[in-house]
Structure 1
Amino acid sequence: MEFVSEKMDTCTKEQLKLYQNWFTSVDSDRDGRLTANDATEFFAMSHLTKPELKQVWAIADTKRQGYLGLKEFITAMQLISLAQEGHELTSSLLRSTVYLETLSPPYMEGLDAFLENQTSLPSVTSVIDGLKRLYNEKLKPLEATYRFNDFVSPFLTSSDFDAKPMVMLLGQYSTGKTTFIKHLLQCNYPGAHIGPEPTTDRFIVVMSGPDERSIPGNTIAVHAELPFTGLNTFGGSFLSKFECSQLPHPLLENITFVDTPGVLSGEKQRTQRSYDFTGVISWFAAKCDVILLLFEPHKLDISDEFKRVISSLRGHDDKIRVVLNKADQVDTQQLMRVYGALMWSLGKVLNTPEVSRVYIGSFNDKPVNEAAIGPVGKELFEKEQDDLLLDLIDIPKKACDRRINEFVKRARDAKIHAYIISQLKKEMPAVMGKAKAQRKLVDNLEKVFEKVQKEYHLPAGDFPSVEHFREVLSRYSIDDFEKLKPKMIQAVDDMLSYDIPELLKSFRNLYG
C-alpha cells in the first residue's frame, strides 16, 4: 500500500521530530527496526485493547516483515491516535491526508518516565557496560556509514569490551618469549616449544580455561564469546598458524598472554610468510594492554622485518615495554655497552623523543649467572625483575582506564576517517569523469589529508597511514560513499564531551 510511504509527508516537522525521538528510544538494537518485543511495552501505554493493538500492527506492517521501520512506526502512532478518538481501525482511514495533518500524537501514559529510563546512562551496571551502549548507539553508526571497519579496525563486539587484559610478546627467535611466559606461570602450557632455533611458528594465545587443551585457530576465530573473531579477515593461511592454549591458572584469570613467532632476520626474512604478519601484529597491538619487545645481548640488530613490525605499533607507543633478556650472558662492562647499543638502535626505529623503559634481567627458571655479573649485577637484576612483575600485576587494575583510553582514541580516529571520506566524496564530479577524478584523488591523497587537517584543525599525528589508506581506497568507488553527516559527528562529539564524563562520574570505582 502506497499510503505508508506517504506518512512522513502528513506530519508537521514537530510531530516528525517527536516520532523520531520515540522510535529511537524504543528501538533497543539501534538498527532502525522495531520488533514486536520492543513495541509491546510502549504500545501498551496507549491503553488500547490487545485486539486493537493487534490491528494497529497488522495495518502498519504492510509488507509483513515482522518489524516496523520509522515510516511504519509513524503509521502505527497515527492509527493509535485515531483509535483513541473512537474511530474504527481500517487502512482506509489513513488515506485522508488532510485529516491526518490535523491529527495530534497519541496519548501515552507514563511516556516521560519511559523515555528517561531508556536514554539515561546510569541504568548501566558498570563503566564497561556504559561504553558498550555508547558504542552501539553513537559510534558504531558513524563507523558503519563511512566503512571505518574496512579501513582501520573491525566493528567492536561485546567480547572485545569484556575480554581480559592482554600482554603481547614480540622479538626475534630465541630471545626467550615462550620461556618468559613459562617463567611467569611457573609451568609449561600446551603448544609451548623452546629451543635455540625458531620453534614458535605460530601465534599462541595463552588464556584461562577449565583444563589443559589446545584449540585450533579456525575454531577460536568463530567463538563469539572470545575477542578473536576479527582475525577471520586474515584468512585461512593465518588461522592455520594461530591457536589458543588454555589451562587453569590464577594469573591467567586476570591476564591473557599472546606468544608470537620469532621475527625473522638475515636471509630468513626474505622468505615470504603466507599471511600479513605485520597486519596481524597491528591487530593484536590494538587489543593488547602491554607490548613487550624482547631482545638479548647477542641479537641487538633490528632486521627489516622487525622494523616493519615496530612501525606497525604506531599509535600504541604508551603500551611498549622493552626487555633485555638473558642479560647474565655478558659481564657488567659488556652489559653497559649492550644497553647503550640497544638504546641507540631503538632510538632510530621508535621515532619518539621519550626513552622507552628497558627492563634488564634473565627471565627463566635457571639461577642468575652471578659469576658473570657479580653481586651488584644480581641485585640489579632482582630489582628490575620485581619492577617488571609489578608493572604486569598492575595491568588488571588499569584495564578499565585502558578500555576508556582506547575507546576515546577509536572515536577520534573514526571522526577523522569520516572527514577524509566525505572530503573525497565532495571533490568527486557530479556526472562526467568520475574514474579520472578518483585516480587523481587517490594519487594525491596527501593533499586531501592536509586539506582535512587544516579545515577541521586536527593534529597531523592522528591521521592514518597514507599508504594503507590508499591501498584500501583503491578497492572502492568513492562515489559510493556518503556525504558528511553533521548529526553523526555531533553525536560522537557529545559522547566524548558529555556522555563519557557523566558515565565516569556515575561510578566511583572505575574498575567495574
Structure 2
Amino acid sequence: MDILSSRSNTKQDEEKYRHWFDYADADGDGRLTGDDAVKFFSLSQLPRAELKQVWAIADVKRQGFLGFKEFVSAMQVISLLQSGNDIGPDILKNADLEKIGAPTMVGLVELLSKGLRGSKSSNGSIHSNGSSPQQQASQTSQWFREKTPRRSLSSVSVTSIVDGLKKLYIEKLKPLEVTYRFNDFVSPTLTESDFDAKPQVMLLGQYSTGKTTFIKHLLRTSYPGAHIGPEPTTDRFVVVMGGADERNVPGNTIVVQADMPFSGLTRFGQAFLAKFECSQMPHPLLDHITFVDTPGVLSGEKQRTQRSYDFTGVTEWFASKCDLILLLFDPHKLDISDEFKRVITSLRGNTDKIRIVLNKADQVDTQQLMRVYGALMWSLGKVLNTPEVMRVYIGSFNDRPIDETKLGPIGKDLFEREQEDLLSDLKDIPRKACDRKSTSL
C-alpha cells in the first residue's frame, strides 16, 4: 500500500508540475527562461540568494533555460529548502525524491485561475474570444497563408536566433566542412558549446593595472583564486564564469569538457594548460557574461625572460572568441613594451571589440590627467596604426570612494558618467554576441 500510495502521489505531483510549468512558460516553447523563473520561483518566498542556487542546481547542463525535467528538479529543491534542509550541490542526491512533496507557492492558485482566462492552456480548451483552438488555428492560417506557405523549422526546435544558427550549422555546413576537410586546413569544426557559450569579456594590460580588481568591482565580491597586489599576482589565464558552487577547475579538465568552449586551447600544449584554470561561482552577472582574466603583460627586464607557452597566440585565440576586449592602462604605466605591442598587434581583425580603460585615474590631479590622456592616445596611435580614435573610458574601477581632493567635483562627475557608459557597453554585450555569431557563421 505504501508503494502504491507513493506512486500515486508522485504521479499527482508530476501532473501538478506540468500544470505549473505550462503557466510559468510565458512563450509556450517548452523552455523556462531566467525571467520566467524569477517570477515563478519568487512565489516560494525564499531568499533571492537561495533561489539563484536553485537555478544553478537545476540547470546542470548550463543551457540558460529549464526544460520540464529541470523544472521538476527545481521544485524539489525548493520543497526541501522549505522543509528546513541546507542547500548544496548534492541536495537532491542525498534525498528520497519519491517522498518530496510539491512546494508551497503563495498565491499560485489565484494566479492560475486568472491566468487561464484569456491565455493558452495546456490542453487549449479555454481562449479569450470563446472560440476553439481549431477555429483560431484555421483563422491564423488564412491570415498568413500567402506570406508563409510553409515553415522550414518548427517553433519548438528554434526558440532563438542562436538555436537556429546551431541547427543550420549542424545540418547544412558541418557536413560540408567534414567532406572537404575544412577543419584540417582553416579552423576546427564548431561544437554545440561554441554556440551555447555565454558572451566573454577579456581584460588585457600590464601587471598591476587593476584587471582582477576590475572584475571584483563588477561582481562586488572576489572570485575563487583571485589574488590582488602591487606585484604580478595573476600568473595564469583565469576564466571566471557562473557555477553551482565556488570552485577552481584546472585547465587540463576544462578543455576536455564537452559543455565548455575551450577545447581549441589544447593546441598550445601542456605548458599553457598548467597556466590555465576556470573559476566558477554563483553570481547573477556571471549568468550572462564570462570574464577572462589574463597575466600581466611583461615590460622592462622581465620581458627578456621567455614564457613557457605562446602568450601572444593564446591572447589571439581568446580575442577571436571574446565579444569585448578591455585594454587597461595605469597613469604611471603608459609605456607599451615589446610584448604588449605584439599582443595589441595580434588583436587586428578584432578592433571593433577593443575598448581602452584608463584605470586608477584618481591617483593624479586634473591637470596631470589631461597630460596622461594625451600621452596615452599618442602611444596607442603608434601601435594601432589606425586613423580612428578608440573609445577610452576614464575612471577608477575599484571599491574605494573617489577622492575629490585631487580631482574636485568635476572629476568625480566625469568618473561616474564614464563608469555608466562602460556599464552600458557591458549590458549590450549579449546582443552583440548574437550579431557576432550570425556574422561569423
TM-score interval for Structure 1 and Structure 2 normalised by the shorter chain: 0.5 to 0.7
Counterparts of 1:275 and 1:150 in 2: how far apart (Å)? 23
**Correspondence for 2:308:** 274
Aligned amino acid, residue 429 of structure 2: I
TM-score norm. by structure 1 comes to 0.55
Counterparts of 2:380 and 2:289 in 1: how far apart (Å)? 27
Aligned amino acid, residue 411 of structure 2: G
Counterparts of 1:221 and 1:131 in 2: how far apart (Å)? 23
**Correspondence for 1:385:** 419
**Correspondence for 1:6:** none
**Correspondence for 1:401:** 435
**For residues 253 and 121 of structure 1, do their structure 2 counterparts lie closer, same or farther at Cα, with a shift above 3 Å needed?**
closer
SS in 2 for 1:243: strand
The one-character-per-residue Cα deviations of 1:374-430 (angstroms, maximum 9, x if unpaired) are 1111110110011101111121233312221232xxxxxxxxxxxxxxxxxxxxxxx
SS in 2 for 1:224: coil
1:121/1:130 contact within 8 Å kept:
no
Aligned amino acid, residue 228 of structure 2: I
Give the deviation of 1:232 after TM superposition.
1.1
* Greater gyration radius: 1
**Correspondence for 2:247:** 213
Higher relative contact order (CA 8 A, sep 6+): 1
Q: Mark the runs of 5 or more structure 2 residues left unpaired by the alignment.
A: 1-149
Counterparts of 1:269 and 1:142 in 2: how far apart (Å)? 44
Counterparts of 2:184 and 2:312 in 1: how far apart (Å)? 17
Does residue 284 in structure 1 map to residue 285 in structure 2? no
Within the candidate set 230, 233, 255, 2:264 is matched to: 230
1:332/1:373 contact within 8 Å kept:
yes
Within the candidate set 276, 293, 300, 2:334 is matched to: 300
**Correspondence for 2:212:** 178
SS in 1 for 2:430: coil
TM-score norm. by structure 2 comes to 0.63
Within the candidate set 151, 158, 171, 1:124 is matched to: 158
Counterparts of 1:246 and 1:193 in 2: how far apart (Å)? 15
Aligned residues: 292
The one-character-per-residue Cα deviations of 1:40-83 (angstroms, maximum 9, x if unpaired) are xxxxxxxxxxxxxxxxxxxxxxxxxxxxxxxxxxxxxxxxxxxx
Counterparts of 2:303 and 2:188 in 1: how far apart (Å)? 29
Within the candidate set 335, 349, 360, 2:394 is matched to: 360
Give the fraction of aligned pairs with identical amino acids, expressed as a percent. Answer: 78
Aligned amino acid, residue 258 of structure 1: V
Give the deviation of 1:334 after TM superposition.
0.8
Within the candidate set 191, 202, 208, 1:168 is matched to: 202
Aligned amino acid, residue 332 of structure 1: T
Does residue 258 in structure 1 map to residue 292 in structure 2? yes
Q: Mark the runs of 5 or more structure 1 residues left unpaired by the alignment.
A: 1-115, 408-512
Counterparts of 2:160 and 2:196 in 1: how far apart (Å)? 11
SS in 1 for 2:371: helix
**For residues 150 and 301 of structure 1, do their structure 2 counterparts lie closer, same or farther at Cα, with a shift above 3 Å needed?**
farther
**Correspondence for 2:82:** none
Give the deviation of 1:279 after TM superposition.
0.9
For 1:339-350, what aligned pairs fall within 5 Å after superposition? 339-350=373-384
Give the deviation of 1:126 after TM superposition.
2.7
Counterparts of 1:199 and 1:242 in 2: how far apart (Å)? 14
1:216/1:243 contact within 8 Å kept:
yes
Aligned amino acid, residue 284 of structure 2: P
Does residue 155 in structure 1 map to residue 189 in structure 2? yes
Q: Give the number of the structure whose residues are more often helix, by fraction.
A: 1
